[in-house]
Amino acid sequence: MQMKRIERIHYIETGFSGPACSVQGFTTRHEGVSRAPYNSLNLGTGTLDQPHNVEGNRSLLARAFGITQDTLVTVKQVHGTDILVIDEPNEDYSHFLGLEGDAVITNQSGVMIGVTVADCAPILLLDREKQIIAAVHAGWKGTAARLVSKAVAGMQSLFDCNPADVQAAIGPCIGKCCYEVDTPVRQAFTQNNVPWESCTEHIGIDRWRLDLAAVNRELLIEAGLPASGIQLSDMCVSCQRELFFSYRRDEGETGRQMGFIMLT
């Protein structure tokens, strides 16, 4: 993963192996038009930022990749496990904005799908063979509920993808350095047999540090993805104030960056 700039978008590009059939990456907070505390490329429609600023920012992202804002699809994220599947062209994609869900899968080229985050892990999936992409929003709840595994299973059952062909990129999220969690989080993980011991550090009574990216990497390997096809950002959004929004660090008053992907 490396920093890249296209027009007014500074983002972390994640290249997948093989001939390029998609564009994808993770935005930073740089550029854009939002004012503090949403400064400045806030892409989250669920924030208290001025809606016209968020629209302007989304439009900047879309235009940088040669599309219009109407074909940039995100859903209303609720820390659940519903997945929006877009398997045919739509006249208008804007209605998906109000639909509750935490992941999007599509086979449509020219449609950019994304998830917005400020601590949670944005995860992008690509099956180059079948030309299927997915974007997944994985906070601790989505991770405990194995949302990323559900997305891979959806790619398999709906589009006949082979997990061995699926590549993944786990974008910048809150790092283990800054992510203290307690017993309810541990219970949610262990109830669902989600890796815990290998991805946490016990730091006190009922206190752990959780490595969200590492857990999702393990879930993807369990789902059948080759470890060599999974990329991980090593950046912590909470530590990197200049580059990223962080909900915990900014005590809820902050913007959202986006993990985005589009079949070209």
The CB-of-178 to Zn ion minimum distance in angstroms stands at 3
CA distance 249 to 88: 40
CA distance 17 to 31: 29
Q: Which residues between 122 and 161 bind Zn ion (CB under 5 A)?
A: none
239 binds Zn ion per the rule CB under 5 A = yes
181 binds Zn ion per the rule CB under 5 A = no
- Pick 152 or 237: Cβ nearer Zn ion: 237
CA distance 71 to 210: 35
Binding mask 27-56 for Zn ion (x = CB under 5 A): ------------------------------
Distance set, CA 210 to CA 82, 147, 171, 207, 254 (Å): 24, 17, 16, 10, 22
The CB-of-193 to Zn ion minimum distance in angstroms stands at 27
The CB-of-238 to Zn ion minimum distance in angstroms stands at 4
> Which among 95, 154, 105 is positioned nearest to 132, based on CA atoms?
105
175 binds Zn ion per the rule CB under 5 A = yes
Q: Are the beta carbons of 139 and 79 closer than 8 angstroms?
A: yes
Q: Which residues between 199 and 228 bind Zn ion (CB under 5 A)?
A: none
How many Å is the maximal CA-CA distance in the chain?
A: 54
CB-nearest residue to Zn ion: 236
The CB-of-162 to Zn ion minimum distance in angstroms stands at 36
Among 238, 246, 254, 257, binds Zn ion (CB under 5 A): 238
> Which among 103, 188, 180 is positioned nearest to 144, based on CA atoms?
188
The CB-of-213 to Zn ion minimum distance in angstroms stands at 12
- Interface positions with Zn ion (CB under 5 A): 175, 177-178, 236, 238-239
